[in-house]
Amino acid sequence: MTFKESLLEYLPESEADSLIASIEEGKVTHALLLNTKKMSDEEFLSRFPNVKKHPFVEHAYLYDKSEYEFGKSMLYEDGVFSIEDPAAMMPVYFLHPEEDDVILDMCAAPGGKSIGASLAMNDKGCIISNDISYPRAKAMSQNVERMGRGDIIVASNDFVFSYIHFKDTFDKIIVDAPCSGSAMMRKNSEAKKDWSYTKVKSNSKRQIEILELAYSMLKPGGTISYSTCSFNIEENDNVILSMKNRHPEIELVPLKDDPSFYRTKEVPEAVHLFPNHFEGEGQFICLFKKPGELVKTKKEVLSYPRYKEFLGEYGLLDRSNEEMRHKFYSIYQHFDTSHLNVLRYGVKLFEMRDIFIPDHHLAHFLDSKYSIPISLEDAKKYVHGDVFELDRSDGFYIVSYDKRNLGYVKVTQGIAKNHYPKGLRRDWE
């Protein structure tokens, strides 16, 4: 079956032709999600007046890459924004994460949806951001650190082997399922070559398996967001219909209407975002609920008295501060990770060594009021990995430029020795 033939399984020919024409056009829409903890919308718009507000997502902006190379800027390295396709932001928009939610993002890498949920929750919840691929989870952990998020647990697990430990655990679950990726065809020519209907059929089976696992881990009254970047009904509507047949009790959640959304008669509650209607590469989104009344988990905070003075200095005493494998972390709310392979547990504060060294993540998490402002000249030296003079007594300090924390230095006899991670060092752009 050809790609067009697969579209004609559920789309009128005129709509299929319009969608294919949009793909062939090759125009790509770029977008970012602003981290308002580090920069306000007003300041961002004053610096970059030619961006366009996302039609739905708060603090999100569309931009022309020929004018703004945001992905290569120091603002990106400082975690001022996360770059994500505007359609890919919509599952979190519809899911509407709230403070104190306990959320599982099952197939999370590279982390855009977890970060979006964390920003929406104001860092006051608990998100298990999981990917079965350890290398992808590791890269995602770096994104979480860069954005300074403090309520995300980065993990790498196959829930086939551990779902039983998390039965009825999560308030909300994000399933951005592995798929054939036809929505990537506009910006990736390899996606066109790689597409096959055989892969579509194979993916749909795996997607149902993932949703079954997710449903078992969802609390009564909880909500699952299912999404793909596929245009094929087998991976979208048919997966939802299969779940509905298996679990007649589930309630499909009608999503708000808009002229830019496409709906099908198969699952009219769901939304298809096509690039010929919506500024983005494409997305299928459907929300459904498990019957029952949602009872949220009471916030649990564990204290570790050994470093109470350090925690108090940075205003962290109201968070759960815990030791894991000789590393010390802080998170908004405790979560039992004994059955998870964890890469990052909230904010990494430091490692327990003979020599105390605070972690780079903490510098990105904290407000600039905890830092020492430095000049542009010294900031350039810092991100390049150089030392510079700093008139402070010996010890560790966070340095900042333009009210954004850059990272730690260790001052010895008036010289600031650089603790900027070596993998991030570069010339200032």
How far is the C-alpha of 428 from the C-alpha of 203, rounded, in Å?
Answer: 43
Q: 230 with 92, same domain?
A: yes
With both helix axes pointing from N to C terminus, report the angle between 134-146 and 112-120 in degrees, rounded to the nearest 10.
40
Residue 348 belongs to some domain of the structure: no
Q: What is the pLDDT of residues 74-111, one digit of tens each?
A: 999 999 999 999 999 999 999 999 999 999 999 999 99
* Length of the chain counted residue by residue: 429
Nearest to 250 by CA among 226, 282, 271: 226
In this structure, what token pair is assigned to residue 265? 């008669």
Sheet of strand 415-418, all strands in order from the earlier edge strand to the far edge: 371-373, 395-401, 404-412, 415-418, 388-389
Nearest to 177 by CA among 227, 131, 129, 215: 227
pLDDT at 87: 97
Q: Has residue 35 got a pLDDT over 80?
A: yes
How far is the C-alpha of 134 from the C-alpha of 17, rounded, in Å?
Answer: 39
Residue 359 belongs to some domain of the structure: no
Residue 304 belongs to some domain of the structure: no
Nearest to 111 by CA among 87, 74, 90, 138: 138
* 354: confidence class by pLDDT, cuts 50, 70, 90: low
Q: 14 with 79, same domain?
A: no
How far is the C-alpha of 109 from the C-alpha of 138, rounded, in Å?
Answer: 9
Share of the chain above pLDDT 90, in %: 83
Q: Has residue 194 got a pLDDT over 90?
A: no
* 405: confidence class by pLDDT, cuts 50, 70, 90: very high
Residue 315 belongs to some domain of the structure: no
Residue 36 belongs to some domain of the structure: yes
Q: What is the 3-state composition of the chain as percent helix, strand, coil, each rounded to the nearest 5?
A: 30, 25, 45
β-partners of residue 322 are 329
Residue 326 belongs to some domain of the structure: no
Residue 339 belongs to some domain of the structure: no
Q: 7 with 80, same domain?
A: no
How far is the C-alpha of 243 from the C-alpha of 140, rounded, in Å?
Answer: 29
Whether the CA torsion 316, 318, 319, 324 is positive or negative: it is positive
Range of the domain at 403: 367-429
CA distances from 239 to 79, 189, 202, 232 (A): 36, 27, 12, 11
Average pLDDT score over residue span 45-63: 97
Long-range contacts of 135-138 (CB under 8 A, 24+ apart): 136/109, 136/110, 137/108, 137/109, 137/343, 138/343
Average pLDDT score over residue span 273-301: 95
pLDDT at 119: 97
Q: What is the pLDDT of residues 155-173, one digit of tens each?
A: 999 999 899 999 999 999 9
Q: 183 with 169, same domain?
A: yes
Instruction: Give the chain's domain count.
Output: 3
pTM of the model: 0.95
Q: What is the pLDDT of residues 221-234, one digit of tens each?
A: 999 999 999 999 99
Helix (H) or strand (E) run with residue 156 in it: none
With both helix axes pointing from N to C terminus, report the angle between 197-217 and 237-246 in degrees, rounded to the nearest 10.
40
pLDDT at 187: 82
Q: What is the pLDDT of residues 201-218, one digit of tens each?
A: 999 999 999 999 999 999
Residue 337 belongs to some domain of the structure: no
Q: What is the CATH number for 204?
A: 3.40.50.150
In this structure, what token pair is assigned to residue 317? 């005493």
Q: Say if residue 55 is preceded by a cis peptide, omega within 30 of 0.
A: no
How far is the C-alpha of 31 from the C-alpha of 58, rounded, in Å?
Answer: 12
Q: What is the pLDDT of residues 100-148, one digit of tens each?
A: 999 999 999 999 999 999 999 999 999 999 999 999 999 999 999 999 9
